[in-house]
């Protein structure tokens, strides 16, 4: 007879039996000068394997592009007088209409 001892078997956590969350991904690369796009679904580990295989086969990631700075919308302000500028006769140009002594401000935008 066993005196109060029992044998406990190792239990597998339920999390290991649940399916991993799927993700959707799009990969863009250049392979031998040709742009390619790969779309798929899978686990994050699948995505890493695909990227590693692409790199091993000579694929290159797309060149990073910097977004162009956007022009400030609206009427610019004169840096000297801190006043809104007036539109010029030239499209897209502005000038400061404030007087400086006997002359006008020379600030333009």
Give the per-residue pLDDT at 42.
85
Q: Is the pLDDT of residue 89 over 80?
A: yes
Q: Confidence band (pLDDT; 50, 70, 90) for 70?
A: low
Domain boundaries, the chain: 18-56, 74-109
Query: Please, which residues have CB within 8 angstroms of residue 79's CB and are 6 or more apart in sequence?
Result: 107
State the average pLDDT for the chain: 82
Calculate mean pLDDT across residues 43-50. Answer: 86
How far is 29 from 55, CA to CA, in rounded Å?
A: 9
Q: Classify the C-alpha dihedral 42-44-50-51 as positive or negative.
A: positive
How far is 22 from 80, CA to CA, in rounded Å?
A: 58
5-26 tens-digit pLDDT: 667 777 777 666 666 667 888 8
25-34, 58-67, 98-107: least confidently modelled range: 58-67
Query: Which of 89, 32, 48 lies closest to 40, judged by CA?
Result: 48
Q: Is the pLDDT of residue 73 over 70?
A: no
């Amino acid at each position: 007879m066993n005196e109060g001892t029992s044998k406990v078997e190792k239990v597998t956590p339920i999390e290991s039996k649940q399916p991993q969350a799927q993700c959707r991904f799009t990969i863009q690369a250049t392979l031998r000068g040709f742009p390619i796009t790969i779309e798929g679904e899978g686990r994050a580990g699948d995505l890493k394997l695909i990227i590693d295989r692409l790199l091993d086969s000579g694929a290159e990631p797309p060149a990073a592009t910097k977004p162009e700075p956007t022009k400030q919308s609206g009427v610019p302000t004169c840096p000297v007088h801190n006043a809104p500028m007036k539109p010029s006769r030239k499209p897209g140009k502005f000038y400061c209409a404030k007087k400086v002594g006997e002359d006008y401000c020379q600030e333009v935008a």
